[in-house]
């Protein structure tokens, strides 16, 4: 009797220990991915001074420190004033801690990447904690954000952060107010306006009617325009030329290889307007997968780009379309490794590298129409066994 009781107690202790260990495993993955992902980003940030964009940040920070007008004094600034104020803050932080501006910028963006990974894990929804920890780790250890944040130091991740917060509030049934959704969308566009595709889709999904969605988008556009008001007196020409008239330098990408220039512009703007209807009405995608579709269609149809744009698909890709995300990650890592504005450790013709990524994006886009919400499209943990 005593021996049987002792055996039962021993089995209970083993079960408790095993359950405790299983409960700790997701947190071990999160902590490990955070430490390694942050270390890789900071290693690049401290080892390399960056590229043309980091030099532009130095120019903008210097203008802001003396109270100048960035739109009047340089052509090397193509965003709303918000990022210029961020650079001003970063320059003061760098002066305080005796670090170069480019290191402070990329260190702060590394912190943003940790928040992005946390949002991804939360958006993944009602899946086991272990699966959410994998989603977190897949972003933190993905070479695309490591190279684009740690080396390049661009801030698409900062622009996507309020958008991902909005997606989380919606998909977790928090029923956020329309004012909050419009505000988060406006903040995303003000930070960087190349996220306008997914912001428009977010508003379309959340608005009670197309007319209301258009009204909300008009409010977002008005907020974006209003952000320039303090600089318009002397800098209006720079705003028109360097922000609204700016076109990324890369050409011979995607449809530019196949279609006349006016037609590629027409296709891009037609898809910008119509893609929320396609996602919601024709494909019937839930919001998080709709945002991913929006990003893929944006990069597949855009007629000029910069390397940093290609961070966008890997944010929700790991939980919405893991197989396509993996293929995209391989192609984009090859492109970045051969890019003259990134680490450039592979000799590959630029035209070949960028259009390798485009072909993957077009195939990914086609998969939405070919498979809908099939097993290829859905994340493994969302499927019925």
Of 119-128, 308-317, 360-369, the one with minimum mean pLDDT is 119-128
Number of H helices and E strands in the chain, helices first, is 17, 0
Burial 143-176 (b: 16+ CB within 10 A, else e): bbbbbbbbbbbbbbbbbbbbbbbbbbbbbeeeeb
Look at residue 20 in the predicted model and tell me its pLDDT: 56
Most confident of the ranges 244-253, 255-264, 335-344:
335-344
pLDDT of residue 172: 80
Strands (DSSP E) contained in the chain are none
Predicted confidence at residue 221, as pLDDT, reads 97
The three-class DSSP label of residue 192 is coil
Amino acid 247: pLDDT: 73
Alpha carbon distance 358, 339 (integer Å): 15
Residue corresponding to tokens 């995303």: 188
Rounded to whole angstroms, what are the CA distances from 99 to 49, 60, 84, 92, 149?
Answer: 12, 17, 19, 10, 17
Q: How many other C-beta atoms are found inside a 10 Å radius of the C-beta of residue 51?
A: 19
Q: Are 248 and 306 in contact (CB under 8 A)?
A: yes
Mean pLDDT of all residues in 93-120: 97
Residue entry with tokens 């991913």: 292
Q: Report, as an integer, the average pLDDT of 27-37.
A: 96
Q: Give the pLDDT score at 301.
A: 92
Instruction: State both tokens at 124.
Output: 């993944």
Confidence bin at 258 (pLDDT 50/70/90): confident
Whether residue 378 has pLDDT greater than 80: no
What is d(CA 65, CA 84) in angstroms, rounded to the nearest whole number?
A: 10
End-to-end CA distance of the chain: 43
287 — pLDDT class (breaks 50, 70, 90)? very high
Percent of the chain with pLDDT over 70: 88
pLDDT at residue 379 greater than cutoff 90: no
**Which of 275, 279, 277 lies closest to 288, judged by CA?**
279
pLDDT at residue 14 tops 70: no
What is this structure's pTM?
A: 0.89
**CA angle centred on 330, ends 324 and 336, rounded to 5°:** 125
- Higher confidence at residue 175 or residue 37? 37
Question: 240 CB contacts (<8 Å, ≥6 apart)?
Answer: none
Question: How many angstroms separate the CA atoms of 203 and 215, rounded?
Answer: 10
C-alpha distances in Å from residue 350, one per residue of 143, 251, 289, 311, 356: 19, 10, 31, 18, 10
Q: Are 305 and 248 in contact (CB under 8 A)?
A: yes
pLDDT of residue 173: 74
pLDDT for 47 equals 94
Residue 174 has pLDDT above 80, yes or no: no
Of 93-107, 144-158, 160-174, 220-234, give the lowest mean pLDDT range.
160-174
The domain locations on the chain are 19-382
The answer to whether 268 touches 301, Cβ cutoff 8 Å, is yes
pLDDT of residue 374: 36
The pLDDT value given to residue 17? 52
* Listed ranges 10-14, 62-66, 378-382; the one with the highest mean pLDDT: 62-66
pLDDT-derived band at 127, boundaries 50, 70, 90: low
């Amino acid at each position: 009797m005593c021996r049987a009781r002792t055996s039962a107690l021993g089995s209970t202790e083993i079960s408790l220990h095993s359950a405790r260990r299983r409960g700790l495993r997701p947190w071990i993955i999160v902590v490990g991915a955070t430490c390694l992902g942050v270390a890789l980003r900071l290693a690049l940030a401290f080892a390399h001074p960056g590229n043309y964009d980091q030099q532009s940040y130095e120019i903008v920070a210097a203008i802001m420190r003396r109270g100048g007008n960035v739109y009047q004094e340089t052509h090397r600034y193509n965003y709303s004033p918000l990022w210029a104020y961020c650079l001003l803050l970063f320059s003061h932080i760098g002066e305080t801690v005796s670090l170069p501006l480019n290191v402070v910028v990329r260190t702060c963006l590394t912190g943003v990447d940790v928040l992005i990974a946390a949002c991804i894990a939360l958006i993944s929804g009602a899946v086991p904690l272990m699966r959410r920890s994998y989603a977190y780790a897949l972003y933190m250890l993905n070479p695309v954000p490591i190279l684009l944040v740690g080396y390049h130091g661009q801030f698409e991740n900062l622009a996507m952060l309020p958008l991902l917060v909005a997606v989380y509030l919606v998909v977790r049934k928090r029923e956020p107010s329309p004012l909050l959704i419009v505000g988060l969308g406006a903040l995303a566009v003000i930070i960087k306006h190349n996220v306008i595709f997914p912001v428009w889709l977010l508003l379309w999904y959340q608005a009670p009617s197309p007319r209301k969605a258009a009204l909300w988008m008009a409010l977002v556009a008005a907020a974006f325009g209003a952000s320039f008001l303090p600089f318009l007196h002397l800098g209006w020409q720079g705003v028109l030329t360097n922000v609204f008239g700016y076109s990324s330098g890369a050409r011979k990408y995607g449809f530019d290889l196949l279609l006349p220039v006016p037609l590629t512009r027409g296709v891009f703007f037609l898809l910008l307007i119509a893609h929320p209807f396609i996602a919601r009405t024709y494909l019937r995608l839930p919001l998080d997968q709709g945002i991913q579709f929006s990003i893929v269609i944006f990069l597949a149809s855009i007629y000029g780009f910069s390397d940093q744009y290609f961070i966008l698909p890997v944010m929700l890709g790991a939980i919405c379309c893991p197989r396509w995300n993996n293929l995209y990650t391989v192609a984009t890592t090859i492109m970045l490794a051969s890019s003259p504005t990134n680490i450039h450790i592979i000799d590959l013709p630029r035209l070949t590298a960028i259009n390798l990524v485009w072909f993957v994006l077009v195939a990914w886009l086609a998969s939405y129409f070919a498979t809908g919400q099939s097993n290829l499209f859905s994340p493994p943990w969302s499927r019925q066994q």
